[in-house]
Copies of this chain bind each other. A is one copy, B any other.
Amino acid sequence: MNVAIMGFGTIGSGVAEVLSTNSALIEERVGQKLTLTKVLDLRDFEGDPVAPLIVHDYKEIAQDDSIDLVVETMGGVEPAFTFVKAMLENGKHVTTSNKALVADKGAELLAIAKEHGVQFQFEASVGGGIPIIRTILSCLTGDEIEEIVGIVNGTTNYMMTKMAEEGSGFDDVLKEAQANGYAEADPTADIEGHDATRKIAILTSLVAQAQVDYEDIPVEGISHITSADFAYAKKLGRAVKLLAVSRRAGDSFTVRVAPYLLSEEHPLFAVHGVMNAVYVVGNMLGPSMYYGSGAGSLPTASAVVGDLVHMARYHDEASTIRWSKEKVALETQERPYKNFLRTSLSEAEVRDIFPVAETVDAGIAGEIGVITDEMTEQEYQAAAGRLADGALLQRLRLA
């Protein structure tokens, strides 16, 4: 079977490398050889071994009947959507690593794939190499998924880990991450949590079998996290982590992306650096966790090639993934949780406003830390509204 790759950047070239390095074992697993025959890119890659495969017009792939399987690793919604749609309409199975495309157009592309008797797969769009999507769709099939909590953004997890280990400030760590290639020149999508909202929107859509729009997900990034927060976290034996949380609430879901203070007992506590992990609770299985490289050329390509093997094995099958365009109205009433607050108020003043379970002294002058009793988000917001301007220095939810 012949394969084409659209977009020969970090991940696309990784896919070519996986197909080449592991070609014998992939052939054995599929039952026939997977041969890369065309690569769509704007560049020519002159002198590179890939040069003879390069095409500049996606129609050369879409209209090539010898190509059965297409990889989309361009990123962004357009022109990826136009190209992928054309591939599906021409009877080609497609796998993508493109979270923006999947979050936006997943339901629509799945409908097009089904209509044309082919598959649209996207294992690499969440958690890089971690097989989280196949786990949810093909493994935990005896369970109702009740909760998903993910560390699904490597950039922010790397930064949080560095801040915890080295006591560095946010700006220094961001510069270091950029210098090391762990953060983009424009890091907004990562540090403001937008990347994570797309990923948890995809996972929640798969569980709900309907559309969760990432724009509807309440999101807080990590740019307001300071070294003082880590001083309290250390004192509390907790970690500061950007979590993407999705919980079943009756027929709906509560979803949130925010930095949390994570307990040492939580399986996500020890997920350090650029690693990703997704914690999944099933109503029969109970807690489980899936850990691995959330980014990087070969780990992400490994997931893409896993999709290729699946599509090649089941090439007579249309997609069976259920994800309708019908929109899920997210539930805003979350279950209650404790909050960590840093405040310039005295303990007595805080207690007038919040039910305080515990106070924490991290030795920082002019402020104290408190842990509230469990409160709903609404109860918290009502209490916080009664605080004097500037009295609240930080608020993190506990998980």
Which residues in A have some Cβ–Cβ distance to B below 8 Å? Answer: 17-18, 21-22, 25-26, 29, 123, 129-131, 134-135, 138-144, 267, 269-270, 277, 282-293, 296, 298-299, 301-306, 308-310, 313, 320
Q: Is the CB of A302 within 8 A of B140?
A: yes
Ranked 3 nearest A-B pairs via Cβ:
A142-B305, A131-B139, A288-B292
With both chains docked as a complex, state the minimum distance between the C-beta of A112 and any C-beta of chain B, in angstroms.
21
- In the complex, the answer to whether A284 meets B305 with C-beta atoms within 8 Å is yes
Residues of B within 8 A of A309 (CB): 141-142
18 contacts between A and B (CB under 8 A): A18-B143, A21-B284, A25-B144, A26-B141, A123-B139, A129-B282, A134-B139, A139-B306, A142-B301, A142-B303, A142-B308, A143-B302, A277-B289, A284-B301, A286-B293, A286-B299, A288-B291, A289-B290
Q: Contact: A283 with B21, CB < 8 Å? A: yes
Q: Which residues of the partner chain B approach A277 to less than 8 Å between Cβ atoms?
A: 289
- Counting every copy of the chain, the complex holds 2
B-chain residues with CB within 8 Å of residue A291 when the two chains form the complex:
267, 288-291
Check A302–B135 contact: CB distance below 8 A: no
With A284-B302, A306-B139 already in contact, the answer to whether A292 and B293 are too (CB < 8 A) is no
* Chain B positions within 8 Å of A285 at CB level: 129, 292-293, 298-299, 302-303
Kindly report which residue of chain B lies nearest to residue A314, judged by CB atoms.
Answer: B314
B142 touches A26 (CB 8 A): yes
Cβ-defined contact, A287 with B292, below 8 A? yes
> A288 contacts B129, CB within 8 Å?
yes
Provide the residues of chain B in CB contact with A283, threshold 8 Å.
21-22
> Which B residue sits closest to A305, measured CB to CB?
B142
Q: List B contacts of A134 (CB < 8 A).
A: 138-139
Specify which of B29, B140, B282, B299 is in contact with A284 (CB 8 Å cutoff): B299
Residues on B with beta carbons closer than 8 Å to the beta carbon of A308: 142
The CA of A361 and the CA of B277, in the complex, are separated in Å by 36
Chain B residue at minimal CB-CB distance from A289:
B291
Would B284 and A18 count as touching, CB distance under 8 A? yes
User: Cβ of B139 and Cβ of A18 under 8 Å apart?
Assistant: no
Which chain B residues lie closer than 8 Å to A29 at the CB level?
A: 141
* Bound Cα distance from A138 to B304, whole angstroms: 13
- How far, in Å, is A393 (CB) from chain B's closest CB? 31
| Residues of B contacting A303 in the complex (Cβ-Cβ under 8 angstroms) | 142, 285
Q: Which of A140, A141, A289, A301 has the most CB of B within 10 A?
A: A141
How far, in whole Å, are A17 and B144 apart by their CA atoms in the complex?
13
Task: For the complex formed, measure the closest distance between the CB of A264 and the CB atoms of chain B, giving whole angstroms.
Answer: 8
| A102 to B: closest C-beta gap in Å | 18
Residue of B143, B290, B305 near A290 (CB, 8 A) is B290
Q: Which residues of B contact A140 (CB under 8 A)?
A: 131, 302, 306
